[in-house]
């Protein structure tokens, strides 16, 4: 395992205790008249040999991990070797044309992206790059627009708008009308204004003049139709939310963790003033870059990421620059590396390491003029950057920058399920309990809307009659009818002793979201009904023959289809009570219920026969019985036995649990599941292991097998290692044992 980046060393001399705050004015940064005292600057040194070694460690010149570019020869670079210490804030400086972009943009980023992410980018000319194994990912935060479409904005780019739409879909008004999150998207038909296609403006093309954009007369620039805008959260509709600034949205969504987390990252990079729905083409280059940076801050952090930025301070006021520097140093304090091409002296003076290229531009550049701390750069006589930096360092102010405390800054950890519960609770406080929760029977029989929000036209008396008839036929053998779902009424049999709820399917589902037809589904044993005979028995006319209904269709309204296991589904579409209140339909209900209850009574007896992997899982998996028929397997039983044997020898506490249909569970001490071996794929055994977060890099996973992947867990969840085994292709077993031991020793559980 590669060593972790050491903590940032505290330097003992006052000159190195620099503040991240920029100078308030250029006048304060000027030295008295006269030449720079280079001898005095050169005398600034470390106080002891311990300080010298500490600086070497901090700069990646001792045993600390570092990235080393060997033989960089792109454009005007003169076959230089560059060392970039990891876990540091590194500035690449020099006059324009000195080779900064050739080194960072043309060589470093494409090479890392190709190695870490398998990107198809062509890197510039270099010999090799060492130390990539210490990194997980590379992120290039440039000033390119976040989108060229007016439909793109900071809320959509950062993923914030997805969370907002999900929240609006959970509001009572949305649930009553059947609105989903798609209803609140201005990129989809249904909720958006059809006159302007969700743009809020209409473009009029002029033949000999520039196109003219005017506010849409239909929606007034709101982007949505009237029905969608009637749904409100704390008095604001979805269009109002898009017009809020980041600061205003933070106050509105203070109780919603997922939304607040993204908004705070936008605020941290100094975008409090920006409207969430501001069109992407109207953002400046600096604003676009900070939106991208905020999006990255909102993603899971591994502490092994290298961020590459090109002139991030372009267009920033000194106050905004302070916020940007806080964010960049925050990334470094979390263990990441920031490489920044920069000319701004207020940024350069806060760097941990400066690499100055030059001395001039073009053919006269491409060399390393100086590298080291800002003070060492200022002491380099041949460095143009040093001569400009010297008076800035002299002027100060100087203070020790406080380290970023992730524990204090981060919001309390909230699971995904808890986040959803908080959002639902916030939504329900808008109107209290849902109507189907208060009185489900009345909701489905009298108040129900269709899926599209229109008034339902089928007769509620038809559903009431079917439910009452089934309850009478199945007296004491059925669970109470469940009316408390928005779109479905469910009837199921009482559980026989010794069975689980998952073993017993429901008997009837009545889907009440159709506008003209009520959909009744019955679950019966396979072979109970012949579909043609049942069609004749129920005698439901096709819609074309119903002159009283303004809907058409020549299909039958009775369907019999097989489903999982030995069950089949009988689907009946009805409009009114007359279609169900007759002897043939009553006989159908009686036969269906009798067959269903009879099969349920045999579930406990047939469970072992229906699920052989529960009684003899070893034979099931070694016999390769979980795979789909027809495709020859590319692995055999001996490979599975060899794999499990190697796992047991590496970690004797790990034992296999065979009693599952598709996989063998790997369990530590009979309690915690650390991994799975899937035997249901013909192409090979799929191995999945949970690993301690951040312990292994993506490159180490590829050393195990070329097709191995390591997925980072979210919010402290374990990393997931995955690869496939098949005959003739085996992994690096020694490295695999290391992964197994790490997983077993830490008791890392997995969620699939």
Residue of 68 and 174 predicted with greater confidence: 68
Give the mean pLDDT of 131-156. Answer: 89
User: In whole angstroms, how large is the CA radius of gyration of the chain?
Assistant: 34
Give the mean pLDDT of 148-168. Answer: 91
pLDDT of residue 339: 96
pLDDT of residue 420: 54
Q: Is 67 left (phi over 0), alpha (psi -120 to 50) or beta?
A: beta
Range picked from 89-103, 408-422, 427-441, 669-683 for highest mean pLDDT: 89-103
pLDDT of residue 574: 95
Residue 751 reports pLDDT greater than 80: no
Query: In which element (H, E) is residue 66 found?
Result: strand 66-72
Mean predicted lDDT score pLDDT of the chain: 83
pLDDT of residue 433: 66
d(CA 342, CA 349): 11
d(CA 133, CA 696): 9
Least confident range from 47-56, 339-348, 702-711: namely 47-56
Nearest-CA neighbor of 269 among 258, 283, 257?
283
Joined together, the tokens standing for residue 355 give 């690499």
Cis peptide before 397 (omega within 30 of 0): yes
- Cβ neighbours, 10 Å, residue 742: 20
Alpha-carbon dihedral sign for residues 75, 76, 78, 83: negative
Residue 413 reports pLDDT greater than 90: no
Least confident range from 59-73, 227-241, 248-262, 692-706: namely 59-73
Nearest-CA neighbor of 433 among 484, 490, 488?
484
Q: Which residues contact 84 (CB under 8 A, 6 or more apart)?
A: 60, 66, 67, 68, 69, 90, 108, 337, 339, 353, 355
d(CA 722, CA 708): 6
pLDDT bracket for residue 670 (50, 70, 90): confident
Residue 18 reports pLDDT greater than 80: no
Residue 575 reports pLDDT greater than 60: yes
Range picked from 18-22, 497-501, 530-534, 712-716 for highest mean pLDDT: 530-534
d(CA 679, CA 687): 9
Give the mean pLDDT of 659-679. Answer: 90
- Cβ neighbours, 10 Å, residue 588: 19
Residue 33 reports pLDDT greater than 60: no
Q: What is the pLDDT of residues 369-412, one digit of tens each?
A: 999 999 999 999 899 999 999 999 988 778 788 887 766 665 54
Least confident range from 545-554, 575-584, 608-617, 620-629: namely 608-617
Query: In which element (H, E) is residue 129 found?
Result: strand 128-130
Residue 546 reports pLDDT greater than 60: yes
Least confident range from 178-182, 314-318, 634-638: namely 314-318
Joined together, the tokens standing for residue 567 give 């069950």
Q: Which domains does the chain have, with CATH numbers?
A: 14-145+300-401 (3.40.50.300), 154-282 (1.20.1580.10), 435-608 (no CATH), 613-746 (3.90.1150)
Range picked from 25-39, 92-106, 424-438 for highest mean pLDDT: 92-106
Q: What is the pLDDT of residues 266-315, one digit of tens each?
A: 998 889 999 999 999 888 888 888 899 888 888 777 788 999 998 888 77
Residue 76 reports pLDDT greater than 90: yes
Joined together, the tokens standing for residue 223 give 């982007």
Grouping H, G, I as helix, E, B as strand and the rest as coil, residue 96 is coil
Give the mean pLDDT of 160-187. Answer: 89
DSSP string, 385-400: HHHHHHHHHHH--B-P
Q: What is the pLDDT of residues 685-699, one digit of tens each?
A: 999 999 888 788 888
Nearest-CA neighbor of 716 among 671, 746, 741?
746
Give the mean pLDDT of 237-253. Answer: 94
pLDDT of residue 89: 96
Least confident range from 292-301, 356-365, 507-516: namely 292-301
Residue 345 reports pLDDT greater than 50: yes
d(CA 311, CA 272): 21
Residue 429 reports pLDDT greater than 70: no
d(CA 94, CA 342): 8
pLDDT of residue 1: 39
pLDDT bracket for residue 716 (50, 70, 90): low
d(CA 137, CA 114): 10
Least confident range from 111-125, 215-229, 649-663, 697-711: namely 697-711
> Could you say which DSSP state residue 89 is in?
E
Give the mean pLDDT of 64-92. Answer: 93
Residue 62 reports pLDDT greater than 90: no
Residue of 608 and 245 predicted with greater confidence: 245
Least confident range from 290-299, 413-422, 444-453, 459-468: namely 413-422
Residue-wise over 590-613: b if at least 16 C-beta within 10 A, else e?
ebbbebbbebbeebbeeeeeeeeb
d(CA 322, CA 330): 12
């Amino acid at each position: 395992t590669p060593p972790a980046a050491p903590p940032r060393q505290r330097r003992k001399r006052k000159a190195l205790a620099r503040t991240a705050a920029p100078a308030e004015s250029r006048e304060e940064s000027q030295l008295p008249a006269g030449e720079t005292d280079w001898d005095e600057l050169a005398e600034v040194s470390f106080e002891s040999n311990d300080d010298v070694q500490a600086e070497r460690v901090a700069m990646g010149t001792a045993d600390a991990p570092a990235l080393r570019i060997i033989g960089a020869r792109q454009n005007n670079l003169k076959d230089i070797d560059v060392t970039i210490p990891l876990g540091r804030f590194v500035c690449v400086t020099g006059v324009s044309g000195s080779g900064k972009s050739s080194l960072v943009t043309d060589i470093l980023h494409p090479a890392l992206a190709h190695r870490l992410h398998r990107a198809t980018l062509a890197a510039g000319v270099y010999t090799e790059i060492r130390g990539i194994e210490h990194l997980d990912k590379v992120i290039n935060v440039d000033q390119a627009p976040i989108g060229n479409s007016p439909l793109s904005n900071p809320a959509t780019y950062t993923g914030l708008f997805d969370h907002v739409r999900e929240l609006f879909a959970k509001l009572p008004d949305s649930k009553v009308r059947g609105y989903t999150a798609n209803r609140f998207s201005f990129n989809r038909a249904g909720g958006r204004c059809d006159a302007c296609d969700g743009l809020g403006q209409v473009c009029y093309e002029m033949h000999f003049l520039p196109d003219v954009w005017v506010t849409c007369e239909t929606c007034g620039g709101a982007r949505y139709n009237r029905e969608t805008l009637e749904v409100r959260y704390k008095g604001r509709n979805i269009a109002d939310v898009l017009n809020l600034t980041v600061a205003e949205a933070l106050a509105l969504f203070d109780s919603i963790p997922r939304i607040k987390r993204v908004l705070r990252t936008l605020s941290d990079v100094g975008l409090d003033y920006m409207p969430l729905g501001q069109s992407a083409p109207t953002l400046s280059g600096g604003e676009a870059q900070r939106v991208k940076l905020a999006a990255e801050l909102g993603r899971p952090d591994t502490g092994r990421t290298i961020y590459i930025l090109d002139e991030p301070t372009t267009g920033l006021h000194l106050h905004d620059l302070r916020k940007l520097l806080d964010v960049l140093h925050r990334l470094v304090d979390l263990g990441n590396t920031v490489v920044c091409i920069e000319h701004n002296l207020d940024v350069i003076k806060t760097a941990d390491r400066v690499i100055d290229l030059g001395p001039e531009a073009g053919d006269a550049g491409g060399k390393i003029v100086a590298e080291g701390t800002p003070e060492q750069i200022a002491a380099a006589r041949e460095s143009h950057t040093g001569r400009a930096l010297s008076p800035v360092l002299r002027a100060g102010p100087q203070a020790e920058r406080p380290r970023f405390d992730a524990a204090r800054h981060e919001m309390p950890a909230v699971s995904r399920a808890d986040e959803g519960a908080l959002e639902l609770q916030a939504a329900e406080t808008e109107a209290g309990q849902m109507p189907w929760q208060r009185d489900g029977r009345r909701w489905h029989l009298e108040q129900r809307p269709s899926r599209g929000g229109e008034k339902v036209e089928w007769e509620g008396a038809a559903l009431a009659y079917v439910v009452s008839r089934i309850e009478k036929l199945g007296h004491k053998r059925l669970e109470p009818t469940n009316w408390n779902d928005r779109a479905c009424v469910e009837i199921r049999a009482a559980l026989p002793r010794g069975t689980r709820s998952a073993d017993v399917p429901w008997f009837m589902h009545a889907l009440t979201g159709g506008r003209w037809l009520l959909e009744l589904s019955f679950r019966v044993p396979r072979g109970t009904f012949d579909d043609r005979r049942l069609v004749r028995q129920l005698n439901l006319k096709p819609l074309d023959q119903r002159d009283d209904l303004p809907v058409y269709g020549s299909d039958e309204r009775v369907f019999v289809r097989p489903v999982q296991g030995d069950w089949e589904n009988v689907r009946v579409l009805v409009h009114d009570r007359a279609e169900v209140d007759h002897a043939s339909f009553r006989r159908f209900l009686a036969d269906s219920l009798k067959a269903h209850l009879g099969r349920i009574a045999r579930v406990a007896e047939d469970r072992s026969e229906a699920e052989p992997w529960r009684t003899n899982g070893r034979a099931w998996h070694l016999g390769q019985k979980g795979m789909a028929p027809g495709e020859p397997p590319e692995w055999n039983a001996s490979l599975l036995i060899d794999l499990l044997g190697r796992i047991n020898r590496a970690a004797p506490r790990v034992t296999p649990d065979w009693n599952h249909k598709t996989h063998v569970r790997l369990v530590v001490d009979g309690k915690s599941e650390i991994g799975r071996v899937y035997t249901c794929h013909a192409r090979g055994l799929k191995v999945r292991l949970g690993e301690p977060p951040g312990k292994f890099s993506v490159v180490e996973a590829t050393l195990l097998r070329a097709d191995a992947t390591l997925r980072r867990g979210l919010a402290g969840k374990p990393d997931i290692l995955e690869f496939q085994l098949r005959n003739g292709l085996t992994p690096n077993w020694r490295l695999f044992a290391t992964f197994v031991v790490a997983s077993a020793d830490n008791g890392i559980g997995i969620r699939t």
